[in-house]
Structure 1
């Protein structure tokens, strides 16, 4: 049996536990013998994760459910195999459940032709549809489900007391999950989600990638301001809401203004 390296009471992060990066952050939340996993990562990592859970002396039969923060390939490709090995269920947002049930490779970033990325997305059914206000019980622990769209329209976060499992909303360096129109990203929604996190009284953010960190309101303010600027930039194409430069150009043409 391995010694459990809890990062907070009742919370183990399996990359930290393993001492090396397995994939996306995988959080094991437990109370008594009952436990859940938040995200699972790539299919190739599933057997290592399951064996690690076994070595930590968690009964595999007591996995209540596998929770998906959203359906991206780097978070959920391994759900089908993990579900089979653990004989458990999947819990996901309704929009994520649809992508998972069809094995959608485009909306999950499994297929990116321009970067020669061609990954499988094994089909898996979702038994438990969760959304804003849902409660996931793990023993006596309650995970409060937050809908935090922006990176993906199915992005969820999960509050557990002063902790927020924050998905791809925000990372320690102030970066956020990829913004891509084909992915279902929405910048105004992203800003609202970050404002909700910033204005909450949670103390710790547990992201889906990278280190866990104490909530930093100044950093969040800076990130929110950056995303607000994205609303008015051609860089983000159909994710932006306008392109002020073209309005200026139209006015300059009407005035016959020469280049300066």
Structure 2
């Protein structure tokens, strides 16, 4: 399955927004990059759906523009005025060529979902490969109102419980994509989160 980070060239802060091509072209998160619609058109003229990991501003800033341009459906855990499909924990969602299980992974955001297939995880912000705080296994921040380190730890543990050992592609909301032993990266992130130390010490 071909996955393209359509916000890779952004000059301002945004999440990574991933276009999964194949039987069902799907955009995972929309990002905030001006011109993301033009980048999408470089790869496809049809977008079946936008699937959200969560609705923080850096993940949905260009959502309306994408939905308007492609007449795509919106699938998300949390309510949204334009949501067509509500995704619950354990639901199956086709992204590109693969079937993904949705895992409710709160802590960084109450409505956060991670998506796991036999080969791939779209982990949003709950666990990432690198983000400036840590390389090779980091985790979403939990120092803002409504966030919880304890819930985040439980969410990362849930990913490990439900993620097949065969997963070797990790596409996170920030940092670089990773191809290799994804389980080891996630286990490393969990160990760091469990130390309860501030992610960004003052």
CA RMSD of aligned residues (A): 2.5
Aligned to 2:172: 207
Q: Deviations over 1:171-208 (max 9, x none)?
A: 222332120351x2222221122123345322232101
Q: Secondary structure at the match of 2:140?
A: coil
Q: Which has the larger radius of gyration?
A: 1
1:28 aligns with 2:12: no
Please tell me whether the aligned partners of residues 54 and 112 of structure 2 are also in contact (alpha carbons under 8 angstroms). yes
Gaps of 5+ in 1: 1-8, 102-123, 237-260
Q: Aligned partners of 1:37, 1:136: CA distance in 2, in Å?
A: 12
What is the deviation of 1:219? 4.8
Aligned length in residues? 187
Give the structure-2-normalised TM-score: 0.80
1:233-252 alignment runs, 5 A limit: none
Q: CA deviation at 1:168?
A: 0.4
CA distance in 2, matches of 1:139, 1:218: 25
User: The residue matched to 1:63 in structure 2 has which SS?
Assistant: coil
Answer yes or no: is 1:193 the counterpart of 2:155.
Answer: yes
Measured in 2, the distance between the counterparts of 1:216 and 1:140 equals 20
Contact 1:36–1:67 (Cα < 8 Å) also in 2? yes
Structure with the larger helix share: 1
In structure 2, the residue corresponding to 1:136 is in which secondary structure?
Answer: strand
CA distance in 2, matches of 1:221, 1:143: 21
Q: What is aligned with 2:143?
A: 180
Query: Are residues 1:164 and 2:130 paired?
Result: no
Match of 1:248? none
Over 3 Å counting, the alpha-carbon distance change for 1:175 and 1:160 in structure 2 is: same
Determine which structure has greater relative contact order: mean sequence separation of CA pairs < 8 Å that are 6+ residues apart, divided by chain length.
Answer: 2
Gaps (5+ residues) in structure 2?
130-134
Quote how far apart the aligned CAs of 1:139 are.
Answer: 6.7
CA distance in 2, matches of 1:216, 1:38: 19
In structure 1, how many angstroms separate the alpha carbons of the residues matched to 2:22 and 2:64? 24
Instruction: Tell me the equivalent position of 1:110.
Output: none
